[in-house]
Structure 1
Amino acid sequence: MSDINCIKHLRNEKGLAIDKIANTLNINWRTAKKYADESELPSSIIKPRKGMMYEEKWGTMVSDWLFEDAKEKKKLRRTNLQLFKELQIHDFPGSYRTCCNFIQEWRIQHDSEDQDRGAERLEHPAGEAQVDFGVMEAVEEGKSRDIRLLIMSFPFSNVAFYEPMPSENQECFLEGLKKLFDKAGIIPRKIRIDNLTPAVKKTRSKTEEAQLTDEFLRFQLFYGFETQVCNVRKGNEKGHVEKKVGYIRYNFFSVPPVITGLEDLSEKLLAFSIEDQYRKHYRKEVEIQALWEEEKLTLKNIPNPGYPVRKEALIKVNAYNEIKLDDTILHIPKGKNHIQLFLVSTWEKYQVITPDGEIIAEGPRPYMNKRKVLPWKETFKSWLLKPRVVEYSRYRQYLPGRIKDYLDIPSNHLRKQRIEQVLALLTRYPLEEINEDFYQHMMEDQPLEQNHPFDVNWNHYDQLGHQGGIE
Structure 2
Amino acid sequence: MLAMSDINCIKHLRNNKGLSITKIQETLGINWRTAKKYADEDQIPQSKIKSKEGMMYQEHWGEIVSDWLIEDLKLKKKLRRTKKELFKELKELGFKGSYRTVCYFITDWENSHNEDGTDRGFDRLEHPPSEAQVDFGIMEAVKDGEFVDIHTLVMSFPYSNAAFAVPLPSENQECFLQGLNILFNQAGGVPRKIRIDNLTPAVKKTRSKTAEAQLTDAFIQFKNYYGFDVQVCNPRSGNEKGNVENKVGYVRYNFFSVSPVMNNFEELTETLRVQLSNDRKRLHYEKEIMIEELWKQESNYLLALPQKNYPVFKEHEITVNKYNEAQIDKALIHIPRAANYSSIYLILTWDRFKAVSPNGEILLEDYRPYMNNKRAIPWISVVKDWIRKPRIVAYSRYQRYLPGRIKDYLMVDDLSLRKDRLKELVNLLVTHDMKRINEEFYDLISEQNGDPYGVNWNLYDSLAPSDDGGELI
Normalised TM-score (structure 2): 0.69
The match for 1:366 among 363, 366, 369 is 369
Distance apart, 1:303 and its partner CA = 0.4
What is the CA distance between 1:206 and its match in structure 2?
4.6
SS of the equivalent of 2:317 reads strand
Match of 1:433 among 422, 436, 460: 436
Match for residue 452 of structure 2? 452
| Cα deviation, residue 432, structure 1 | 1.3
Taking CA–CA contacts closer than 8 Å with sequence separation of 6 or more, which of the two structures ends up with the larger relative contact order? Answer: 2
- How many residue pairs match? The answer is 333
1:453 and 1:217 map into 2 onto residues whose CA distance is 67
Asked whether 1:222 is paired with 2:228, we answer: no
Q: CA shift at 1:260, angstroms?
A: 1.0
Aligned amino acid, residue 296 of structure 1 = S
Q: Where in structure 1 are there 5+ consecutive unaligned residues?
A: 1-120, 457-471
Cα distance between partner residues in 2 of 1:167 and 1:233: 22
Are residue 246 (structure 1) and residue 249 (structure 2) matched? Answer: yes
Instruction: State the partner residue of 1:342.
Output: 345
Structure 2 matches for 1:8-407, cutoff 5 A? 123-203=126-206, 205-407=208-410
Larger deviation: 196-205 or 299-308?
A: 196-205
> TM (normalized to structure 1)?
0.69
What whole-Å deviation, never above 9, does each CA across 1:95-133 have from its counterpart, x for those lacking one? Answer: xxxxxxxxxxxxxxxxxxxxxxxxxx9810111000000
Give the Å deviation of 1:277. Answer: 1.1
Where does structure 1 differ by over 2 angstroms across 4 or more consecutive aligned residues?
203-207, 453-456
**How far did residue 355 of structure 1 move?**
2.1
1:245 aligned counterpart, secondary structure: helix
Contact (CA 8 Å) 1:157, 1:288: kept in 2 or not? yes
Shift of 1:351: 0.5
Q: Secondary structure in 2 aligned to 1:343?
A: strand
Residue 319 of structure 1, CA deviation: 1.7
SS at match of 1:123: coil
Structure 2 distance, partners of 1:279, 1:161, is 15
8 Å CA contact retained: 2:320, 2:343: no
**Counterparts of 1:151 and 1:292, CA distance in 2:** 16
Query: CA 1:204/1:131 → structure 2, altered by over 3 Å: closer, same or farther?
Result: farther
How far residue 373 of structure 1 moved from its aligned partner, in angstroms, is 1.0
Please, what is the CA RMSD of the aligned residues? Answer: 1.4
Between the aligned partners of 2:367 and 2:445, the Cα distance in structure 1 is 36
Amino acid at match of 2:197: D
The separation in 2 between residues aligned to 1:446 and 1:125, in whole angstroms, is 68
TM-superposed CA distance for 1:455, in Å, is 4.2
8 Å Cα contact 1:206/1:231 also seen in 2: no
Q: Structure 2 CA distance, aligned partners of 1:122 and 1:234?
A: 20
Give secondary structure in 1 for the equivalent of 2:320.
coil
Aligned equivalents of 1:446, 1:253: Cα separation in 2: 39
After TM superposition, give the deviation of residue 340 of structure 1 in Å: 3.1
Q: Give, in whole Å, the separation in 2 of the partners of 1:334 and 1:302.
A: 43
Larger displacement relative to structure 2 (199-208 or 420-429): 199-208
Q: Deviations over 1:51-93 (max 9, x none)?
A: xxxxxxxxxxxxxxxxxxxxxxxxxxxxxxxxxxxxxxxxxxx
Identity of aligned residues (%): 54
Task: Give the letter aligned to residue 422 of structure 1.
Answer: L
Quick check: 145-154 or 255-264, which moved more?
255-264
Unaligned runs of 5+ in 2: 1-123, 457-473
